[in-house]
Amino acid sequence: MIPTINNTSKYLNLEDLKLLSRHTGPCVTMSIPGYQPGAGAGTRHAHLRHLTQTSAEKLGHLNRPKTGEMVAALELLAGTLDDGHGGPGVTLFCAPGLTAAYETPGVRADAVTVGDWFDLLPFVAAAQTPSQFFVLGLSRNQVRLFRYLRGKAEALALPAGVPLSLEAAGAFDEPEHTMNSHSPAGPSVGSLRGVRFASSGDQDSNVEYLRHFFGLVDRGLKETLKGEPLFLAGVQEELSLYRKAAKYPHILESECPGNPEHSSLDQVAKHAAAGAVREYRLAADRALGALPEIRDKIAGDPDGVFLAANQGRVRQIFVAEEGAPEEKLNAAVVEGFRTGADVFAYEGRELPGFGAIAAVLRY
C-alpha cells in the first residue's frame, strides 16, 4: 500500500522524495514563492487561487477518474495556507489518495505541473542539503556555539568543559612541551635557584597553545554534539589548526572564513545556510568526479536511465538542474528514487562531458 502524506508545514527531505516517487498520475505539483504582505507582487490568495484554477483545468483535460476529488482536495489544502499573512515558499502535492504541502524556501516563481509523476527534480538538492547542525564560532578571544535549524540560528551556552577563550584555557592543564623549563643555577648566578628558558620559539609555542586550546574545545563539545554535524566559522588559519587538533568525526567540509566574535544570529544563519548548500555541492562533485572511471554507466540518455532504473539496475543518477527535456529528466529521477538509486542534482544545463543526465549501473 502506498503511504499517504498529509501535512502543511514540513520541509521536504530525502525520505519525503522517496515516498512521493511511489505515486503515479495524475500528479499535481504546485509551487509558489515566499510572500510578504505589501511586497507588491500580488496577494498570496491570488497566487493560490490562480494556480489551483490552472491545476483544475489541466486535470479536466486528462479525462481520468478521481480528478474531481483531486480538485476539491487542492482547493481545501490551498485554503489552509491562505491566512492573509503571507509566508515562506510552499509546494503542494496532490494525487489520488494524497494531499501534502511542504515549505520550499528555494521556490522563486509560480509553477504548476500535471503529469504521471510529481515534479521532484527542482527539490533534489534542497531535500538533501543539511538542515540541522551545530555551528562553532572559533576565535582565540571567544568561542561561540549555535544550533542551526532550517534557516534559523540559536545561541547556546558553552558546556562546562569548554574554555571561552585561549586566555580562559590557561585554567586547564597546559601541554607539557609548551611550559617553561628551568635549569639548575651554576655558581655564576649567585643565589638564584634556577635559570628560566623557553623550550621552543614564540611562534611554535603560540601554535601549540592554540592546538591545546582547540583540543580542549573539541573534547568538551563531544557530549553536546552527540554525533550531529558541526559547521566551523573562523579565521582560516585557526580553522585549519582546529581540524588538525579535533577528533570529532562529523565536521562538515564546508566552512565560513572570518572572525565570528560579533556576528548576529541572522548573519550566523545566513552563513550556515550557504555552507549547507556548499556541503551538498561538494558531495555531488566528489561523486561526479568518479564517473569518468566507471565503465558501467549511461550518459546523456534520459530514456535509457529511466528504463534501467525501472529494472532496478541504477545505483546513482546525476542530473543537471536546468537540463532538457525536463519532463524526461524528472521521470528518470522519480524512477530512480522509487527503485533505491542515489540521486545528485548538479547546477547548470549539463554535466561536464555527460549531457544532462548520467547514471551508474549496478549491473
Render pLDDT for 118-160 as a digit per residue (tens, 0 to 9): 999 999 999 999 999 999 999 999 999 999 999 999 999 999 9
Domain ranges, residue 96: 1-119
- pLDDT band for position 88 (50/70/90)? confident
pLDDT (0 to 100) of residue 77: 79
Select the more confidently predicted residue: 50 or 156.
Answer: 156
What is the mean predicted confidence (pLDDT) over 105-120? 92
Same domain, 23 and 113: yes
Q: Residue 196 above 50 pLDDT?
A: no
Return the pLDDT at 83. Answer: 60
The total number of structural domains in the chain stands at: 3
Do 71 and 113 belong to one domain?
yes
Phi, psi of 195 (to 5 degrees): -110, 125
Q: Is the pLDDT of residue 195 over 70?
A: no
Q: Are residues 147 and 216 in the same domain?
A: yes
Residue 42: partners with Cβ closer than 8 Å, 6 or more residues away: none
Q: Are residues 112 and 148 in the same domain?
A: no
**119-157 b/e (C-beta count within 10 Å ≥ 16 → b):** bbbbbbbbbbbbbebbbbbbbbebbbbbbbeeeebeeee
Arithmetic mean of pLDDT, 210-220: 94
Is the residue at 277 inside a domain? yes
Residue 315 and residue 252 share a domain: no
Q: Is 186 left (phi over 0), alpha (psi -120 to 50) or beta?
A: beta
C-alpha 308/C-alpha 301 separation (Å) is 11
Cβ proximity of 144 and 260 under 8 Å: yes
CATH number reported for the structural domain that contains residue 60 in this entry: 3.30.960.10
> What percent of the chain lies above the pLDDT cut of 90?
65
| Cβ-Cβ contacts under 8 Å for 303 (sequence gap 6 or more) | 328, 332
Q: What is the pTM of this model?
A: 0.83
pLDDT at residue 190, as a whole number: 40
Kindly tell me if the per-residue pLDDT of 202 is higher than 70: no
Question: Which is higher by pLDDT, 55 or 37?
Answer: 55
Query: What number is the average pLDDT over the span 86-105?
Result: 87
Mean pLDDT value of segment 206-230: 94
Query: Is residue 124 included in any domain, yes or no?
Result: no
Average pLDDT value for residue range 183-201: 41
Residue of 268 and 76 predicted with greater confidence: 268
Q: Do 26 and 79 fall within a single domain?
A: yes
Q: In angstroms, how far is CA 27 from the centroid of its own chain?
A: 27
Question: Which helix H or strand E contains 254, and what residues bound it?
Answer: strand 251-257
Q: What burial class does residue 234 get, using C-beta atoms within 10 Å of its C-beta: 0-12 exposed, 13-18 middle, 19+ buried? A: buried
Same domain (yes/no): 150, 275: yes
Looking at residue 181, what is its pLDDT? 43
Beta carbons of 139 and 145 less than 8 angstroms apart: no
Q: Mean pLDDT over all residues of the chain?
A: 86
pLDDT score of 85 = 62
Say if 24 falls within a structural domain.
yes
Cα separations (Å) of 39 from 35, 36, 47, 82, 109? 7, 6, 13, 16, 15
Name which residue leads in pLDDT, 297 or 38: 297
325 preceded by cis ω (within 30°)?
yes
Residue 339 has pLDDT above 90, yes or no: yes
In terms of domains, do 108 and 171 share one? no
Q: What is the pLDDT of residue 74?
A: 86
Predicted pLDDT at 2: 46
Mean pLDDT of all residues in 174-193: 43
Rounded mean pLDDT, 334-363:
96
pLDDT beyond 50 at 182:
no
CA distances (Å), origin 185, targets 176, 193, 195, 197, 336: 22, 6, 6, 12, 77
Same domain, 263 and 350: no
**How far are the Cα atoms of 78, 83, 86, 151, 304 from residue 45, in angstroms, in the given order?**
9, 8, 9, 25, 42
pLDDT confidence tier of residue 203, bands split at 50, 70 and 90: low
Where among 286, 308, 343 does a domain terminate?
286
Mean pLDDT of 190-196: 37
* 267 and 221 in a common domain: yes
Report pLDDT for 27: 94
Look up the CATH number of the domain holding residue 333: 3.30.1330.30
What is the number of H-type helices and E-type strands within the chain? 9, 15
In a domain, 219, yes or no: yes
Same domain, yes or no: 302 and 318: yes
Residue 197 has pLDDT above 60, yes or no: no
